[in-house]
Amino acid sequence: MTWRDIPRLAELEQELFAGDAWSAETWWAELAGRPRREYVVLEGISGIEGYAGVDHGGDVADIMTVAVSPERRGRGLGDRLVDTLLDRARSRGAGAVMLEVRADNDAARAMYRRHGFAEISVRRHYYQPGDVDAVVMRRRLEEAR
Ligand SMILES: CC(C)(COP(=O)(O)OP(=O)(O)OC[C@H]1O[C@@H](n2cnc3c(N)ncnc32)[C@H](O)[C@@H]1OP(=O)(O)O)[C@@H](O)C(=O)NCCC(=O)NCCS
C-alpha cells in the first residue's frame, strides 16, 4: 500500500464499513505509523480488490483490518490477505496475533477460525453506535519460537 491508494481506500471504506469507515486522514496517519504498522493491497485489473494491515507490537501483533471488495468475495482473497499478515507477523518475531471482530460478522469470524484463531473473550458494547459486542481472537505462532 502507498499514499496513492488513499483516495480509493477511503471510498471502499464507506462502502464496506459505513459508520466505522476510516477517512483519508486516518489512512494518512496509519501509513505514517510504518514500519510498526504494515498494510498491503491486492490489485486486479480494475484496481484495489482487497487490503489488510497489521500492527507489529513486539511479541503480539494485532490485525488492524482485512477487507475484500464486495464483487470479489468468496474467491479466497480474504484467505490470502490473512495468510500474508500471519507471515509478516511471524517474520517480525511475534509469538501471537490478536484481533477484534464484530460479534455479528459471521463471515469474518468463520474466516479467522479457519486460520487457527480462537475466540478468547468478548468486549461487551464495544462498537458504538449500534451497541455491538467485539469478539477478541488470538492465534499463537508457535513456529516462531
Ligand atoms: C470477511 C471478508 C474479508 C472475507 O473475504 P473473502 O475474500 O470473501 O473470503 P474468502 O473467499 O477468502 O473466504 C474465506 C472464508 O471466509 C468465510 N466466509 C467468507 N464469506 C462468508 C460468508 N458470507 N458467510 C460465512 N462465511 C464466510 C468462510 O470460512 C470462507 O471459507 P470457504 O471459502 O471455505 O467457505 C469479506 O467478507 C469482507 O471484506 N467483509 C467486510 C469487511 C470485514 O468484515 N472485514 C473483517 C473485519 S476487520
pLDDT tens string 54-68: 999 999 999 999 999
Distance 94 CA to ligand 1 centre (A): 24
d(CA 19, CA 56): 26
Segment 91-111 mean pLDDT: 97
Biggest distance spanned by C-alpha atoms of the chain: 41
Which pLDDT band, with edges at 50, 70 and 90, does 145 fall under?
A: very low
Strands (DSSP E) along 21-143, which ranges? 37-44, 47-57, 60-68, 96-102, 118-127, 132-140
Q: Which atom of ligand 1 is nearest to the CA of 72?
A: 7
Answer positive or negative: Cα dihedral of 109, 137, 20, 74. Answer: negative
The residue whose CA has the least distance to atom 17 of ligand 1 is: 111
What is the rounded average pLDDT for all residues in the chain?
A: 95
Q: In Å, how far from its chain's centre is CA 122?
A: 18
Segment 7-18 mean pLDDT: 95
Please tell me the predicted confidence (pLDDT) of residue 13: 97
What is the reported pTM? 0.93
